[in-house]
Amino acid sequence: MNAITEMYARWAAGDMGEDDQWGDVTAEPRGVDYTEVSAGGVPAMWLDPHGADLDRVIVALHGGGFVSGSLYTHRKMYGHLAKAAGVRVLLATYRRAPEFRHPAQTEDALTAYRWAATHARTLALAGDSCGGGLAVQVALREPGVAALLLLSPWIDMDPAQTASSYEENAATDLFFTREMVQGLLQQYLPEGVSGLAPEVNAFYADLSTLPPVYVQCGGAESGRGDSERLAKRIGARLDVFDGQPHTFQMAAGRAPVADEAIGRLAAWVRPRLAI
């Protein structure tokens, strides 16, 4: 069991502890400064690589199933991306379910993005897992997004969760089962809100307005179906990393495959931020 799958096993068992432990799977990137800020009232953190171009920004939205994750669990992974791309990252968090349900998370993501837009000339969006789904929702509402970077995005909020990848990867993804994801949806969606509504589920929205999109996912994850479906729908670049689990990029600085993935993301987004 690698560090990422072990992390998810502990999370599924309710033994994750607080944010510091989750972030242990990522190595500390050197030469990146961190500054916590209020992005229009939303807690956020600037990740500033030394010598970065401050006019170009990636707004990053972390994962955690809407119920966990924070600036501290994900700052190092997105710090690696900031350093590789040579630009600032604004990592934003959002109110958590079940105390706060949809649309609180989308509202916070939009607020943080719009605040960042007042501090940069060109912006891209990045997100992992549920943060990837939020990034798509923001891009659908904000026409100025230059590019989307999606890491194992969770987009389909249909309670039925019909993707065949749950069965195909049942032996390699023991944690993100259909039943577990359905449980997260019960905490995220308020009563009376359909998981098929376009403002919740981007697969039921008009995706023709999205900017260029690059999607990465692990070949061994049960959520692979969302990545493949989105890429097929809009013609996005898709890289499936064989044998890798959900958001394997969190092992950046410790696993060569994670570093390769971060490098590909950086190389792809850099020219799109230079427009």
Print pLDDT tens along the chain (275 aa). 477 777 777 766 665 455 557 888 999 999 999 999 999 999 999 999 999 989 999 999 999 999 999 999 999 999 999 999 999 999 999 999 999 999 999 999 999 999 999 999 999 999 999 999 999 999 999 999 999 999 999 999 999 999 999 999 999 999 999 999 999 999 999 999 999 999 999 999 999 999 999 999 999 999 999 999 999 999 999 999 999 999 999 999 999 999 999 999 999 999 999 96
Within a domain: 92: yes
Q: Which CATH number fits the domain that encloses residue 78?
A: 3.40.50.1820
Within a domain: 199: yes
Within a domain: 182: yes
The predicted-structure confidence for 183-210, as pLDDT tens digits, reads as follows: 999 999 999 999 999 999 999 999 999 9
Cα angle value 210/216/222 (rounded, 5°)? 110
Question: Which helix H or strand E contains 126, and what residues bound it?
Answer: strand 122-128
Within a domain: 119: yes
CA 78 to CA 64: how far, in whole Å?
15
How many separate domains does the chain show? 1
Which pTM does this prediction carry?
Answer: 0.95
Within a domain: 28: no
CB 132 within 8 A of CB 161: no
Containing domain of residue 159, as a range?
3-13+35-273
Within a domain: 18: no
Give me the half-sphere count of Cα atoms (radius 13 Å) on the Cβ side of residue 205.
Answer: 22
The predicted-structure confidence for 136-178, as pLDDT tens digits, reads as follows: 999 999 999 999 999 999 999 999 999 999 999 999 999 999 9
Angle separating helix axes 256-273 and 71-85, nearest 10 degrees: 60
Which of 79, 221, 73, 254 is closest to 153 using CA atoms?
221
